[in-house]
Amino acid sequence: MRIAITGAGSGIGAATARLLIGRGHQVACLDRDLPAARRVAGDGHPAIAVDVAEEEAVVRAFGEVRAAFGGLDALATCAGIYETTTFDDTTVAMFRRVHDVNVIGTFLCLREAAAMMEPGARICTVASVAGLRGGGLAGTVAYATSKGAVLAMTKNAARVLGPRGIAVNTIAPGMIDTPFAAGPLGDPAIRARIEGMTSFGRLGTPEEIAPAIAWLLSPEASYVHGATLVADGGMVMY
């Protein structure tokens, strides 16, 4: 399979890229941090610099993917940012930046990837349980609403792209122990509180989320469409 992964330089994106590369797929590693993307990609896989919040950059980056692969069979949108300011202290600038990356960035990548996909292709967006429950901490208002938007966007994309034979799903991780979450997890009290919100009493790892994304991108999930796969250690139960 020819696969593009955004946010492939670290965290969930890096774990997913390494897993899929190890399984023999062609993987384009896209990240704002090009040296990090190159470390993950290694030899034989393209590493592409991109700020997903910038339309011209996304168009250029997926043009590079097309040039490298000739088309695309799967996409995982792992790029994202996080904020921990309180509701009252969240500025419009903060709110816009989070939504520029998490919402507009996801949309741009979906649009550009879908344009080079054939029937049978698959897309997995990365949302969060914060989008399902409105956040889990006193802050995260911008992050939670952005991930709620990703959930809605994914369902819309599934409606639009399903008739074209392109399957679209999302994964909603809980708090995963990555550099992405290093800020809040650096406070022992916050870390203990979050761990206590799970049934397992611990945080997840990127390596536990990557196989779930890989499955959603695989033919084994051929009839899974418009779905949200929650991977949060039991933080949110329906």
How far is 145 from 191, CA to CA, in rounded Å? 22
Helices (H), 27-88: 34-41, 55-69
- Residues 195 and 202: beta-carbon distance below 8 Å: yes
How far is 52 from 79, CA to CA, in rounded Å? 8
Residues 224, 149, 161: CA angle, nearest 5 degrees? 40
* Catalytic pick among 82, 143, 223, 238: 143
- 143 catalytic? Reply is yes
Rg (CA), the chain: 17
- Residues 40 and 14: beta-carbon distance below 8 Å: yes
How far is 91 from 198, CA to CA, in rounded Å? 30
228 by Cβ neighbours in 10 Å (0-12 / 13-18 / 19+) ranks as middle
Q: How many CB atoms lie within 10 A of CB 205?
A: 14
Active site residues: 143
